[in-house]
């Protein structure tokens, strides 16, 4: 699944190598996905697992299926003041957040805690010590600022840049798929040699989430850039740095130069263009300017000979800027980045200023989240699997896990049947597609082996230090994988994450426990609704192995063109048609969905929904179809899908998502139904209605 947010800044590796989904009326305290279903169990939503009260039956399904299924919910639901958007994922996140809060606050209050329990409690307690943090002001970040001030030449600059390299490119969360460090690093299976790990180097260095904010000189982008310049000056002022306005001007000018050499989101999603194998010796020749020897030595990569450089023109362009831009400007830039990164862990003035820009100015969120919520997020980021292990023990039902695993098997089998039935694909290509399905591995719920946090030092009175040590711990954990056999049991998501994941490099799917909740999955709900919701999610993730990027990988995870030229041409034609379909959706008069940027997600939605429908039909095994609450089984299936994508955005957040997210907004994802033949008779959709597509215009991918 791709989470409801996933952006395209470093989507480089995110979109190609990890493809997340997005992304209930459960009362607080009710265990997530817990109690076993029984014959008497009642669905948590409506009479059969669907919120019929949220529909707007005055809307014709053939004109706006999202509005028909969710219109009343959209009208009556307010986006919480501390969020930029609200949707089905968010609802589950809120409930899951309460459960993790119980775990984390319980650990913080336990004087006898030891091991990971104590680390969890101490990390959270340090973050929540507002009085202690306020008393320190900006002192915790001063050693970093002083180290930056001592940089005296290009080699020292390169060492500083290398020393702060981190595996901090969050490939799983839309709003964090870029890094504000000059480069981002991710260690994963080698795209060319799947039996080993390789470090992937990607573009970074921007404080704004996309190059367009720096380069588009009019409208919303210019407004955001002006606010960002003010934010930079304010942070420098809060730290007592002189001449803040002039320095902010120079810093933003430098970031604008970085933005000019950045690859676009669409370019970044091009797997063939991104899979560039470089030797260590290639950096000085292909990307002169930065002292790469000093950089890699400080980054702990001095012995590593093989790299994948995803955006080579950007890496070369950034390296040239290191040499061409004044050293003092780089030092000002690094000081700003250090302050911005540290702000959530500094005094209230810093945290509030960071939110004022990234929360309010950028995406329109009026109110900062309560501190305990930010503390839960921070603790999960640092000690996520330790928290997740306790979450699983307390809240996750084995029966729910088994039910989901059974659905996965059914939907994988249905996808295999779809491959067999394709009339446009040759047998030669089908053999490779079948091999991918046969080799697909699926993990549901939680990992078999939990992460070891023994080497992570946590102090109860050092919030910023804890965050920095957690980043370093994660970076070293990634570097330690180099030279070792690939671990196909590693989880790239936490059990308490509301999302799902396809890992094309490993031909593997991951479905965390937290997504196995209404409206996606309810053991007591009607099967049609479950197949339309979680079934389509499962189908979506399977389909990512065969979308415009996943289809470039073979069953071993190697980048390998296994298509005949004729079959690939037909596949690309279907993708072009789908891209055009989504590019016609226009949430604003001056801004349309980017059908090329969102193509992989849209292919996965179409193929995933079709596969889930097939699997549901197969699951009936001759059972007599029943109408429930006036809805036929097919209607319930499609309504379950549409309800899973209910959501609403603040305008600023929606604009940002259109520019940066590889997912189309949920209201347009729900309209995917127009490509399935079965949807038309189910809702009596006729020519002339807005969503109607003639049979030959309905995109059929897989």
Q: Note the pLDDT tens digit of each residue in 330-351.
A: 999 999 999 999 999 999 999 9
Residue ranges of domains in the chain: 154-218+239-328, 397-449+489-697
pLDDT exceeds cutoff 50 at 15? no
Q: Note the pLDDT tens digit of each residue in 601-633.
A: 999 999 999 999 999 999 998 787 889 999 999
Q: Note the pLDDT tens digit of each residue in 564-574.
A: 999 999 999 99
CA distance 463 to 30: 31
Angle at 651 between CA 648 and CA 653, to 5 degrees: 80
CA distance 385 to 18: 19
Angle at 380 between CA 375 and CA 383, to 5 degrees: 115
Q: What is the pLDDT of residue 623?
A: 83
* Mean predicted lDDT score pLDDT of the chain: 91
Give 2's pLDDT tier (boundaries 50, 70, 90). very low
DSSP labels for 211-270?
A: THHHH--SHHHHHHHHHHHHHHHHHHHHTT-SSHHHHHHHHHHHHHHHHHHSPPHHHHT-
CA distance 399 to 445: 11
DSSP labels for 43-76?
A: -SSTTTTS-GGG--TTS-TTT-HHHHHHHHHHHH
Q: What is the pLDDT of residue 400?
A: 87
To the nearest 10 degrees (0 to 180), the angle between helices 633-644 and 536-544 is: 60
Q: What is the pLDDT of residue 5?
A: 28
pLDDT exceeds cutoff 50 at 635? yes
Share above pLDDT 90 across residues of the chain, in percent, rounded to a whole number: 83
Q: Note the pLDDT tens digit of each residue in 54-79.
A: 999 999 999 999 999 999 999 999 99
Is the domain defined by 154-218+239-328 classed in CATH 2.102.10.10?
Answer: no
Element (H, E) at 470: helix 463-479
Share above pLDDT 70 across residues of the chain, in percent, rounded to a whole number: 93
- Of the ranges 3-7, 28-32, 86-90, the best mean pLDDT one: 86-90
Q: What is the pLDDT of residue 505?
A: 86
Q: Note the pLDDT tens digit of each residue in 665-693.
A: 999 999 999 999 999 999 999 999 999 99
Q: Note the pLDDT tens digit of each residue in 150-186.
A: 999 999 999 999 999 998 654 433 333 468 999 999 9
* 197-203 and 276-279 strand pairing: unpaired
Q: What is the pLDDT of residue 24?
A: 33
Give 549's pLDDT tier (boundaries 50, 70, 90). confident
Q: What is the pLDDT of residue 11?
A: 36
Give 360's pLDDT tier (boundaries 50, 70, 90). very high
Q: Note the pLDDT tens digit of each residue in 367-418.
A: 999 999 999 999 999 999 999 999 999 999 888 899 899 999 999 999 999 9
Please tell me the CATH code under which domain 397-449+489-697 is placed.
3.40.390.10
Q: What is the pLDDT of residue 170?
A: 45
Q: Note the pLDDT tens digit of each residue in 80-97.
A: 999 999 999 898 999 999
Q: What is the pLDDT of residue 591?
A: 95
Q: What is the pLDDT of residue 1?
A: 35
* 508-512 and 501-503 strand pairing: antiparallel
Q: Note the pLDDT tens digit of each residue in 199-245.
A: 999 999 999 999 999 999 888 999 999 999 999 999 999 999 999 99
Q: Note the pLDDT tens digit of each residue in 254-296.
A: 999 999 999 998 899 888 899 999 999 999 999 999 999 999 9
pLDDT exceeds cutoff 70 at 124? yes
Would you say how long the chain is, in residues? Answer: 702
Q: What is the pLDDT of residue 17?
A: 59
CA distance 34 to 44: 12
């Amino acid at each position: 699944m791709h989470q409801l947010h996933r952006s395209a800044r470093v989507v480089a590796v995110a979109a190609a190598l990890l493809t997340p989904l997005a992304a209930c009326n459960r009362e607080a305290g009710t265990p997530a996905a817990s109690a076993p279903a029984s014959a008497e169990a009642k669905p948590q939503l409506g009479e059969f697992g669907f919120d019929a009260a949220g529909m707007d039956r005055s809307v014709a399904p053939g004109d706006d299926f999202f509005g028909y299924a969710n219109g009343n919910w959209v009208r009556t639901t307010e986006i919480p003041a501390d969020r930029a958007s609200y949707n089905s994922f968010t609802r589950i996140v809120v409930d899951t957040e309460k459960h993790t809060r119980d775990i984390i606050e319980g650990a913080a209050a336990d004087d006898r805690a030891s091991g990971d329990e104590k680390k969890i409690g101490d990390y959270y307690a340090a973050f929540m010590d507002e009085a202690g943090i306020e008393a320190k002001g900006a002192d915790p970040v001063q050693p970093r600022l002083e180290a930056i001030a001592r940089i005296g030449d290009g080699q020292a600059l390169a060492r500083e840049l290398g020393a702060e390299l981190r595996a901090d490119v969050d490939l799983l969360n839309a709003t964090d798929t870029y890094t504000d460090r000059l480069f981002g690093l991710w260690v994963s299976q080698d795209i060319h040699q799947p039996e080993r790990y390789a470090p992937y180097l990607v573009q970074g260095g921007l404080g704004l989430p996309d190059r367009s904010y720096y380069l588009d000189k009019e409208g919303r982008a210019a407004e955001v850039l002006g606010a960002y310049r003010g934010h930079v000056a304010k942070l420098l002022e809060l730290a007592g740095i002189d001449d803040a306005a002039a320095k902010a001007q120079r810093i933003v000018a430098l970031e604008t130069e970085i933005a000019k050499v950045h690859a676009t989101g669409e370019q970044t999603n091009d797997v063939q263009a991104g899979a560039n194998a470089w030797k260590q010796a290639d950096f000085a020749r292909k990307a002169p300017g930065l002292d790469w020897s000093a950089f890699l030595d400080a980054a702990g990569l001095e012995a590593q000979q093989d790299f994948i450089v995803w955006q080579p023109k950007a890496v070369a362009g950034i390296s040239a800027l290191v040499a061409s831009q004044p050293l003092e400007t780089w030092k000002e830039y690094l000081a700003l980045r250090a302050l911005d990164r540290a702000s959530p862990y500094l005094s209230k003035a810093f945290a509030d200023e960071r939110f004022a820009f990234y929360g309010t100015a950028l995406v329109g969120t009026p109110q900062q989240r309560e501190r305990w919520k930010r503390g839960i997020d921070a603790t999960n980021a640092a000690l996520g699997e330790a928290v997740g292990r306790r979450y699983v023990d307390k809240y996750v039902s084995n029966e729910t896990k088994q039910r989901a695993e059974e659905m996965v098997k059914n939907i994988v089998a249905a996808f295999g049947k779809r491959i067999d039935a394709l009339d446009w694909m040759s047998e030669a290509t089908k053999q490779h597609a079948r091999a991918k399905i046969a080799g697909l591995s699926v993990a549901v719920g939680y990992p078999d082996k939990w992460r070891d946090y023994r080497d992570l030092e946590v102090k109860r009175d050092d919030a910023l230090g804890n965050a920095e040590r957690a980043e370093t711990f994660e970076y070293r954990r990634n570097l330690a994988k180099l030279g070792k056999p690939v671990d196909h049991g590693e989880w790239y998501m936490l059990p308490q994450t509301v999302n799902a994941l396809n890992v094309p490099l490993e031909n593997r799917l991951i479905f965390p426990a937290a997504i196995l909740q209404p409206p996606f999955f309810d053991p007591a709900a009607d099967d049609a609704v479950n197949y339309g919701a979680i079934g389509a999610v499962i189908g979506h993730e399977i389909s990512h192995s065969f979308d415009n990027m996943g289809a470039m990988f073979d069953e071993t995870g190697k980048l390998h063109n296994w298509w005949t030229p004729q079959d690939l041409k037909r596949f690309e034609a279907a993708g072009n048609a789908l891209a055009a379909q989504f590019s016609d959706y226009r949430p604003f008069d001056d801004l349309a969905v980017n059908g090329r940027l969102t193509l992989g997600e849209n292919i996965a939605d179409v193929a995933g929904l079709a596969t889930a429908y097939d699997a549901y039909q197969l699951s009936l095994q001759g059972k007599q179809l029943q109408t429930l609450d006036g809805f036929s089984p097919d209607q319930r299936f499609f309504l379950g899908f549409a309800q899973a994508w209910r959501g609403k955005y603040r305008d600023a957040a929606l604009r940002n998502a259109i520019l940066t997210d590889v997912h189309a907004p949920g209201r347009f994802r729900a309209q995917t139904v127009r490509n399935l033949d079965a949807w038309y008779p189910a809702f009596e959709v006729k020519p002339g209605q807005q969503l109607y597509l003639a049979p030959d215009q309905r995109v059929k991918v897989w």
